[in-house]
Amino acid sequence: EAIYQRLPDHVLPYVGSAFQGEGHDGDLRMMAVGINAYVSKADWPPQPGSLRAWFTHRSFRFQRAVVRSMATLAKGVSAPGTLFEGRTFEVDRCLFATNAVKTYLKAEEGKRADQLAANAFDPHDAQWREELQLLATAGVMPHVIVIFGSPFWEHAWKAFHPQHASFAAPVGVAKFEAAWGDAPHRANRIQLEIGQDRRDLLLVRLRHPAGRSKAGSAKWLLERSAFRALLRP
């Protein structure tokens, strides 16, 4: 929470108990990263915990769609013969949900992603990287990180790419593999070194839940041969 509190009007993420020392060896920890949260004039100033409550109660269509997408993806990446075979995703425990922009915006400024300036994510990039560092050193790095929408994707993958990553010891990037073919710029398989251990992580990009096209959905991605190649143990 200290990472988030550096900026005014900050959000607080939804953090399932599997990320808080109450996990099991067979958990599939998953992180969902939206773009931003907005609040109407009538509800301003925002409450930091609103985003957390929206995911707790699945208050709006967005949260319900995110949970469905995460569950679909979880089933695919934990199926027999896949990287995370046998792991279980229990949404209330195994979900970490946050936004790329870690402050609330007023509805007239941030209701749509295309309203955001090109540099809107820059003030939050350091927070994103510190968040990942903290999760890794605490031993609860997600197995799967899902970026919803394209605006934040470059910031997301650069945090893991060996040429751009800024992890501090004992965390490092041992391997970075991208899916191409029929799923370009949609998924990366990353192997992290955390102390003496090596752990695999999938970083994927799905379309925004408001999108109506099948392309970019969790089901669509699981059908791509380039993505399935990343899932081989």
Phi and psi at 186, nearest 5°, equal -120, -25
Distance CA 17, CA 63 (A): 18
Nearest to 187 by CA among 196, 176, 198: 176
Q: Coil, strand or helix: which one is 229?
A: helix
Report the C-alpha gap between 117 and 165 in whole angstroms.
Answer: 24
6-52 per-position pLDDT tens digit: 999 999 999 999 999 898 999 999 999 999 999 999 999 999 999 99
Q: How confident is the model at residue 200 (pLDDT cuts 50, 70, 90)?
A: very high
Q: Express as a percent the part of the chain with pLDDT over 70.
A: 100
For residue 162, cis peptide bond before it (omega within 30 degrees of 0): no
- pLDDT of 201 > 80? The answer is yes
Which tens digits make up the pLDDT trace of 120-154?
Answer: 999 999 999 999 999 999 999 999 999 999 999 99
Which residue did the predictor score with more confidence, 114 or 207? 207
Which residue's entry shows tokens 């920890």? 29
* pTM of the predicted protein model: 0.97
Distances (CA, A) of 175 to 135, 155, 196, 202: 19, 18, 15, 12
Alpha-carbon gap, residue 148 to 158, rounded angstroms: 16
Closest CA to 146 of 68, 212, 58: 68
Predicted pLDDT at 156? 98
Mean pLDDT of the chain: 95
pLDDT score, position 155: 96
Confidence of residue 109 (pLDDT cuts 50, 70, 90): confident
Exposure pattern of 24-47 as b/e (b: 16+ CB <10 Å)? eeebbbbbbbbbbbbbeeeeeebe
